[in-house]
A and B are shown apart, each in its own frame.
Chain A
Amino acid sequence: DAKTTQPNSMESNEEEPVHLPCNHSTISGTDYIHWYRQLPSQGPEYVIHGLTSNVNNRMASLAIAEDRKSSTLILHRATLRDAAVYYCILRDVGGGSTFNKFYFGSGTKLNVKP
């Protein structure tokens, strides 16, 4: 399974944009890029996902490099409630027996300062 690399931690100021990077140099053509986050004392929650094009939703934006070897999750205005561990995950939909398995790494712990 293709792996991802993320910084262990990042810090941001409240109401400023945050760019969370993820490297996935061994990504295959059929890998979707998913982002989840885990707030303290909760289970992970879905943030956004994409394949090739940049994506936007109400929570965040996902910028995918042209060669797809890296991506960036963008929180446009960080709030204190965005303090969480953010996971970048590759999901292979190319068939076989993966059966929707996700591989969570250690993620990036985002600290938001007031």
Chain B
Amino acid sequence: DVKVTQSSRYLVKRTGEKVFLECVQDMDHENMFWYRQDPGLGLRLIYFSYDVKMKEKGDIPEGYSVSREKKERFSLILESASTNQTSMYLCASSLQGTTDTQYFGPGTRLTVL
């Protein structure tokens, strides 16, 4: 079974802190994604990566950056956390191809105080 793991299920940080969210997948997938999920807004794509060291902005990249130094690991970075970044963060991965099913991690609920 494909497994996507995220470093924390729950995280509480203070405004202005630098926050790292880690995601690891074990199926040698080329593509990895970061979404945030907010009530009434569904899932929104922040960034995605289709190869090591490659990244593309999603729909809401402002306030975030990403890093992909190894194929299996994709990190989301909040340079200076703000209260409006309180959300559920979901990581996903997929193979490249027409079926490209996305496999999601369990999510990290981040609270910024």
- The chain A residues found within 8 Å of chain B, CB to CB, are 32, 34, 36, 41-46, 49, 87, 91, 93, 97, 99-107
Contacts and interface: CB of A to CB of B under 8 A. Distances in A.
Contacts, number: 56
B84 interface: no
Interface string B68-79: 000000000000
Contact of B106 (A32, A43, A102, A107): A43
Interface string B87-113: 000101010101111111111000000
Range, interface on chain B: 20 to 34
A107 B42 CA distance: 8
Nearest to B100: A100
Nearest to A105: B42
Chain A at the B interface: mostly helix, strand, loop or mixed? loop
A43 B42 contact: no
Chain B at the A interface: mostly helix, strand, loop or mixed? strand
Interface of B: 4, 31, 35, 40-45, 48, 50, 56, 58, 90, 92, 94, 96, 98-107
